[in-house]
Amino acid sequence: MSNSKPNYFQRRTKPQGPRANERIRALDVQVIGSNGENFGILPLKKAIELARKEELDLIEISPNASPPVCKIMDMGKYKYDLQKKANQAKKKQKIVSLKEIKLRPGTETHDYNFKIKNAKKFISKGDKVKFTVKFKGREMQHTELGKELMKKIIEETKEIAKVESQPKFEGKQMVMIIQPI
């Protein structure tokens, strides 16, 4: 037994990319030719005819303008150029990651210097650094040691970094985030 009812929940796909040719909704459009000359404001049908004569498409470049700006060009080339621009933008963006350095109130000077050296290396690469000072047991009574440690870190990294979030307590640990200047 076949189901003759239409499927009401069928997903309709939206056309991707800019409107072109008959999909353009405006009556009059500002037309730019394939080699950059401005034809001025023309009726949509005449603009499409001009594009067909050159065996190209009429593509809506700026749909929000009044009247919309359309250019005569090849749709495939236009989509390729848009994709290329998007890839270039993606290459140029910098992903900032958060590196964490864990300390204790009684961290020895050699270990402290090593961790500060690593923090400076992370900051020079453009990453943020989260410093965590953990307190255990009786160390909770000496939170001023953690505050002094955080002040010392701020002093040593002030030439290359600034404090994003000031040192604050979260449970049994003190947390601070610094970022590159």
Query: Structural domain boundaries of the chain?
Result: 21-91, 98-180
Chain mean pLDDT for the chain: 89
pLDDT for residue 30 is more than 90: yes
pLDDT for residue 1 is more than 60: no
> Residue 102: what pLDDT?
95
Phi, psi of 129 (to 5 degrees): -125, 130
pLDDT for residue 7 is more than 90: no
Cα-atom radius of gyration of the chain, to the nearest Å? 31
> What would the two tokens of residue 127 be?
């990453």
Measured distance CA(170)–CA(179) in Å, rounded: 20
pLDDT band at residue 134 using 50, 70 and 90 as cut-offs: very high
- Over residues 48-74, the mean pLDDT reads 92
Q: What is the DSSP letter of 139?
A: G
Percent of the chain with pLDDT over 90: 64
CATH 3.10.20.80 fits 21-91, yes or no: yes
Percent of the chain with pLDDT over 70: 93
Superfamily of domain 98-180: Translation initiation factor 3 (IF-3), C-terminal domain (3.30.110.10)
Q: What is the largest CA-CA distance in the chain?
A: 86
> What would the two tokens of residue 92 be?
């140029």
Record the pTM.
0.53
pLDDT band at residue 15 using 50, 70 and 90 as cut-offs: low
> Residue 162: what pLDDT?
92
Cα–Cα distances in angstroms (integers) from residue 55 to residues 5, 47, 50, 93, in the given order? 43, 13, 9, 38
Cα–Cα distances in angstroms (integers) from residue 78 to residues 71, 83, 91, in the given order? 10, 9, 20
Quick one: which of 111, 136, 132 has its CA closest to 178? 132
pLDDT band at residue 94 using 50, 70 and 90 as cut-offs: confident
154-174 pLDDT, tens digit each? 999 989 999 999 999 988 999
